[in-house]
Each structure stands twice: as C-alpha cells, then as structure tokens.
Structure 1
Amino acid sequence: MSEYNAVAPTNTDNAPKFDQSSQSAAFSHYSNLSAQLPIDPATGKLVEGGVKAQAEQSFKNIEAILKNFGHVMSDIVRITVFVTDIQDVEAVNEVFHTFFPTYVPARTNVAVNALPMDAEVQVEALVSHGVGTIPNAPQAGDLIKLTNHTANAPANALSSQTVAFSHYNNITAQLPIDPATGRIVTGGVKAETAQSLKNIKAILAGIDVPLDDIVKINIFVKDLADMDAVNEVYSTFFPDSAIARTVAYVPARTVIEAADLQMGASVQIEAVVSHGDGTPPQAIEDRHGIVIKAHNTENAPVDSLSTQTVAFSHYNHLSAQLPIDPKTGKLVEGGIKEQTKQVLTNIKAVIESVDHVMEDMVKVNIFVKDLADMDAVNEVYAGFFPEGTPARRVVGVSALQEDALIQIDAIAGNAEGTPPETK
C-alpha cells in the first residue's frame, strides 16, 4: 500500500541483546524500546553495586540504544521503572535526575514480584521518532513534544503529567492523590480508584481532551481481589460521553497486580490518549478528525470492560489476553506452554480480525507468575515471532486474573492509519 510504514527493529552491541526481541522497534512516529535490565553488555551479567548501580546501567543501556538510531534521552516521552522494592524508587530517582536534568518525560513507577535475572530494577522507554519510518517519513518532518501540567492533578518534579507527541498523549501513572492536599485519599480502594481517574480526567481537561479519547488503560492494583470494587468505579467513568455510550466504547485495558505502589496506595492507573490535533508542525489537514476504531471478535475472549483492540492513527492497542479459550470462556487445560499458546492464539485472532498480522507487532508485554517458566514461554513465543522483531517486556507478578500463569498484551503498527471522520 502506498501509505505503508515499515516496522524498523534496531540492535547495537553497546546494549544487551536477546534472541526473542529487538532492542527497539520503531513504527511511524514512535520507537518502542525493550525493557532494559542492568546488564553490562560487555559481560552479559548484572552489574554489581546495588540498586543505584543497576539503575545507572539500565539508563546507560537505553542511552546506547537511542544513540544507535540517532536519538537522545530527551526524545523519550515515557519512562516506566520496575523495582522489586518500592522503597528503591528514591535511589532510582537520584540516578534518573542525572539523565534528565531539565526535561522529564511521563513516568510510571511500580514494584513487581520479580524481574528477570533477579535484577532489582528494570527500565523501559517509549521514544519520539520525528522522522517516522521509511517510506512514509519525508513529509512528516521533525515533530515537537508538548508537555502540560495542571494544578488540578498531582504534580511531581520528576515527571510531566502528560507528554504529547504526534497523535498521542502519554499520561503519567496517576496515584490516588488529592491534588489539594498532596496525600492519598481515604475511603479504601473505591475512593482511590475514583481519585486516580479524576486525576487523569483533570489532566485531559487541561489540554481540552475528553476522557473517551483514551485508547489504552493500565491498572496496577495491589490485590486482585479488589478488582470488583475497582470495576464498579471504573464503569462510572467509561463510557464518559453520550456518543461513547451509544457505541458502548471502552478503552483497551490491562490489569496488573503490583507488589507495591508508592505512598501505600492500593491502585494506580496510567493512560494512553489519542491526540487528533497532533503536534506541530503537522499540517492542518493531517490533524483533525482522526477516528478511534474499536473492535472485538468472537474468536478471542470478550470483556464488557475492555475492547480487544483500539486503533488510532498508526497504532493498534491490544487488551491483555489471558489463556482463556473463547469457545468455553475458561482457562485452557495444561501448563505454561498450553497457556502461552492460548494467549498468543487470542492475540493472533484479535489482530487478524482487523486485517493485520503478527509481524505488525512492535511491542509485547509479558506478565508471568513464575519467571522460571520463561524458557517454556520463549519456546512457544518463537513459533509466533520467529524473527524476534517486537520490543519486549517481561516481569514476574504474584498473581493474575483467573489464576492464570501468564498474561500478554501488545501494540501493533497500523500502516493505513485510521481515517478522518466523514461529515
């Protein structure tokens, strides 16, 4: 097709390499980086020296990957920091400031149950890619990142509330902090969920964007048993408008059990938001009326609280898939291999239902209950991604919904984009 954008994977010897993933996978105006462990690429081993040394190595690896395709740290629009002890975020912050002395991206901090290679920290980045991917780049030009802050949501010197680039806004994960007091709200998980979503809504109001422009929601919850309460509140925010209610639109969604969250919170929510106006210097005719296209197929599990895939501009955002057989609505029988196969089969069914293929994937996020299962996961994974092109994240969690052993979500390129709305 004439408007085809190529998925462009890159690798450098100056950062750790893995057979199952590219260090970065660029598509259109973003480059997705694989989550970086504190591995010294010269030795292939974790660096010594504790969490600060590990954080510094993780950021150095990111810096090396960016340098390999002509980018710098200030091109990053979102940083996600995974730690195994939430108290270590303070040490990570000391290192973070040396890599981001002025501009700070949107950010998420979360403690998880385990990280590969028994690391204490893992850092992942999403990068602006102004020139786009060949052959659709020349007319795009260098786009501008736009940061925004509002007094109606919590402020943090180490993160921007929202960073817009091209046709997306990336929102810093919102804790249930009352911006008037700077403290976590009281009242339990329902009150905390409401406050987190109110904060997101306030940030979007600050840039004149409605809540229903969210294409992907990630919910970090300390106890999966709280999800019924979270969902009760969530359903009062989505759908948010009459138009969205008419079509029953809800964003794609992933639920992750966190080992811990900052400030003792029970829940934290992050969002990826469509930005129809784009960022300068996009031409006027290129930046108005881009349609959000939500889609479900009966060939994968259907959930009333999430859409299987939400396309906007040049990306498809897929909801996390559990190893549920869509015919029975139950977990498949067997162990980790059978569950991994079912999860990836569900993802394949979803992406094929919108006329795309697995080769269009740019990022895959894997959550497993036991990191020792990753050899078995990789064996199955290679059958779906034989080239290892997508960037990848792997984290260990203590529990998954439906008592599953594995959960995977993904982002796919959408070469044809989504069309302007016809008048």
Structure 2
Amino acid sequence: MNNVIIKASRNTENAPQNAVSTQTVAFSHYNNISAQLPLDPKTGEIVVGNIKDQVKQCLTNIKAIIESTDHVMDDVIKLTVFLKNISDMDAVDEVYATFFQSYLPTRTTVAVAALPMNDALVQIEALISNGEGTAPQAPCALIKLARNTENAPISATSTQTVAFSHYNNISSQLPIDAKTGELVAGGITEQATQCLNNIKAILESINHDMNDIVKTTIFLKNITDVEAVNAVCATFFPSYVPARSVVNAAALPMDALIQIDTSVSHGDGTPPQLPEDTRLLVIKASNTENAPTMPCSHTVAFSHYNHVAGQLPLDPKTNAMVTGDVKAQATQCLNNIKAILASVDHVMDDVVKVNIQLKNIADIDAVNAIYTTFFNSDLPAATIIGVTAIPMDALVQIDAVVSNAESTPPQA
C-alpha cells in the first residue's frame, strides 16, 4: 500500500478530550470529528440547562475543534444529531441555524435509546471539508457545491446534497412525497421505496445515479423490518450493493418508519478539479471469506476512502453469533473489520472513524477496553450510541471509515 498521504489526528484543550477517541482525524480532503456531547471542556461535566443549552454546547465544542485546525463552521459538510427525545427537534433547529452564516450542511436527525452520559439529551458529530488536504497533498481551493432539487423533499434546516472533492453527502431522506410534503401511505415497503426514490431524484439532479452510492446507513424504527428493507434495496441495486449499516432508531422525524443516509462517489470532483481527470475513478467493492456473509458489500473504496459495512459479532465460518458477553462480541466485530481490511491490504490503524452501537449503553467501558487494543497509533474519531435492538439480537455492531492512501484507479 502507498502510505504517502498522512493521516492528521488532533485534539484541542478547548473541547472535551476522550481517552478512547481522537477529536478530529483528517485524511485527504475530509476531517472526521468525533461525536460531541454537551460537555464543558473545563470541567468535563454535562452543562446545566435545557436542550437548547446542550445543543449549543455540542456545537460550541465542534466549533472549537474546527477552529483549532484553522477551519470554520461553514466548512461543515454534514452533521448527525442524536437526540434522546425526537420532540426536541424544533429546539435543535433554532440553535443550530445560528452557527452557520452562508449555508446549512446536510443533516441526519434521529432519536436513539441512550447516549454515553445519562444526563445528555443530545450528541452531534460532524464531517468537515479539508481543502488543503493532508501532507504531502498541496493545498487546493476546492469549491463546495451545495444543491437542492424540487424533485425531492426540500428542508429549511439542511441542504439536500453537498459535494466536496470526490464525495457527495446527502441529507438523510425520509419517506416524504416531494409534491405534498407528507409521508407516503403504506408500510415499511412503501416507505423504504420512497426514501430511495428521493435519493435517486437527488442523484439524478446532479447527473449521478444509484450505482454511485458507496455507503448507506438505514435507520429503522422497528429492527424486524430489516428483511423487508433489504428486499426493497435489492430492486434499487440489482448488480452492485453498497456497504450498509442498520441502526434501530427510538424515533424518527414525522414518526416515519425509516430514514436512509447515503455517501456518494463524486468522480467529477469539485472545481478546480478537472472532470476529464477524475470522472473515471473506479468504485472498488470487495468481499472476503474471512468475514461474515452479508446482503451488501463488506467494503467499498472510492478515491481516498474505504467504507466498511456494519459488522455484527458473527463467526465468519458459521455465520452464527459468537458465544459470550459483550467483550467477546465486540472482539468478534473488530476481528471481522480487521479481516476485511486485511483483505484489501489495509490495517486497523488506517481507520479514521468508527461508529459503535450498543444494546446496553452501560457496556461502553467494557467495549472501550477491548476496542483500544486493536490500534497501535492514534485512535480514530468515534461515535457511540445506545439502541434498543441490533440485528440478530446482538449486543454490539461496529462500522468504520478507512483511509485509502493508494486511492482507486485511475489515480496514482
């Protein structure tokens, strides 16, 4: 593997520090920021107050991290907001809009069963544009392209799609009819279809298609709906299936049954990148016998990133759940990720971001103790949430975003 491009892992004293993650990990043209809780960085305690106070603290922490890397809030490409109560959305929106001057980034909002600290009402993670790249890439005045189409639902609190360099990031799509602004009639099949049709419409508006998607995160109100959703997804991805993670939501906006988040390859890049130089970048979807069989690709690489599908604690030889407690299950999840990375000539220290779902948030310390043993250098950025259920009644599920220094052809 070509290890020329350097991963930049950084912390600042102006935001809460965590022994099991790095605040921000930049690689190539993106920064990945760990999910921020409403902690006062001076005391390490949850701020006293209501949801608005907590949202403000989360965003203030993100702002401090961003400014410590010589960036500003308007460099944010995407935010994911995890709430204890979905009814707090309006309060979040009110505070959130004050942190951005020129435009609103793409966004996902979801209620989860639990957050890492009991008194936290909200947790927010961010993805940041990094025009200067990481060494030895030369700084480049890349342009961010924020766009909306009338053929998909338009939100007053987010942009449908924001492209930067070789990725498009699409706001999570609810099963809303773009013409009426209402949820579509029907059950999970109809709602999943509408979400994917909205994504398709957004992609077509920027001259892309569903085969350009590299990763989907599917938020389900009922985890038992996963098979029905997989069947719908198969009709939208008949030949190639992106990496995928499934998250059990405690609640979704508008009381929807499903919401789908996507990361999209953007081979044409953003100016001043030249379309004739980049439009032929190849999506490399890979699977290995050393990880459990899945209804999606194990890993999808595009340009300078790999996206690893959510891994359950399954024995790859039997595809059965491993026996044991959460430590045993977390170890298996991480071993599966390690095997997937090894199959594409990468290692765990190439990981820039991990997302961990726990059925019992009280297991966080046990999982962290195992998790840290899989890395030899700086720890990745991280997000941890508690959920009511995980597929196959697992106790933990983990996915990862990985640096890909060698890039995908025809880049050198």
Bin the TM-score by the shorter chain.
over 0.9
Aligned partners of 2:281 and 2:2: how far apart in 1?
Answer: 19
Q: Could you tell me the TM-score, scaled by structure 2's length?
A: 0.98
Deviates more, 1:95-104 or 1:260-269: 95-104
Answer yes or no: is the 8 Å Cα contact 2:267–2:275 preserved in 1.
no
Aligned partners of 1:286 and 1:80: how far apart in 2?
Answer: 32
Which amino acid in structure 1 is aligned with residue 174 of structure 2? Answer: L
1:330 aligns with 2:331: no
Q: Could you tell me the TM-score, scaled by structure 1's length?
A: 0.95
Stretches of structure 1 that go unaligned for 5 or more consecutive residues are 240-244
Which of the residues 338, 353, 368 maps onto 2:343? 353
Corresponding residue of 1:41: 41
Corresponding residue of 2:287: 296
Deviation, structure 1 residue 234: 1.3
Which amino acid in structure 2 is aligned with residue 231 of structure 1? Answer: N
Stretches of structure 2 that go unaligned for 5 or more consecutive residues are none
Corresponding residue of 1:127: 128
1:310 aligns with 2:300: yes
Answer yes or no: is the 8 Å Cα contact 1:323–1:406 preserved in 2.
yes
Q: Deviations over 1:79-102 (max 9, x none)?
A: 100001001111111100110243
Deviation, structure 1 residue 148: 1.0
Answer yes or no: is the 8 Å Cα contact 1:321–1:407 preserved in 2.
yes
1:276 aligns with 2:277: no
Aligned partners of 2:66 and 2:230: how far apart in 1?
Answer: 38
What is the percent sequence identity of the aligned residues?
A: 56
Answer yes or no: is the 8 Å Cα contact 1:382–1:388 preserved in 2.
no
Deviation, structure 1 residue 228: 1.8
Aligned partners of 1:358 and 1:230: how far apart in 2?
Answer: 30
Which amino acid in structure 2 is aligned with residue 165 of structure 1? Answer: F
User: What pairs up with 1:193-342 in 2 under 5 angstroms?
Assistant: 193-239=192-238, 245=239, 249-303=240-294, 305-342=295-332
Aligned partners of 2:379 and 2:328: how far apart in 1?
Answer: 23
Answer yes or no: is the 8 Å Cα contact 2:74–2:101 preserved in 1.
no
User: What pairs up with 1:61-76 in 2 under 5 angstroms?
Assistant: 61-76=61-76
Answer yes or no: is the 8 Å Cα contact 2:112–2:250 preserved in 1.
yes
SS in 2 for 1:201: helix
Aligned partners of 1:11 and 1:190: how far apart in 2?
Answer: 44
Aligned partners of 1:158 and 1:102: how far apart in 2?
Answer: 13
SS in 1 for 2:36: coil
CA RMSD in angstroms comes to 1.3
Deviation, structure 1 residue 61: 0.2
Aligned partners of 1:195 and 1:77: how far apart in 2?
Answer: 24
Corresponding residue of 1:242: none
Answer yes or no: is the 8 Å Cα contact 2:27–2:133 preserved in 1.
yes
Moved beyond 6 Å, runs of 4+: none
Which amino acid in structure 2 is aligned with residue 63 of structure 1? Answer: K
Corresponding residue of 1:413: 403
Number of residue pairs the alignment of both structures matches:
411
Q: Deviations over 1:374-399 (max 9, x none)?
A: 11101111110244420000000000
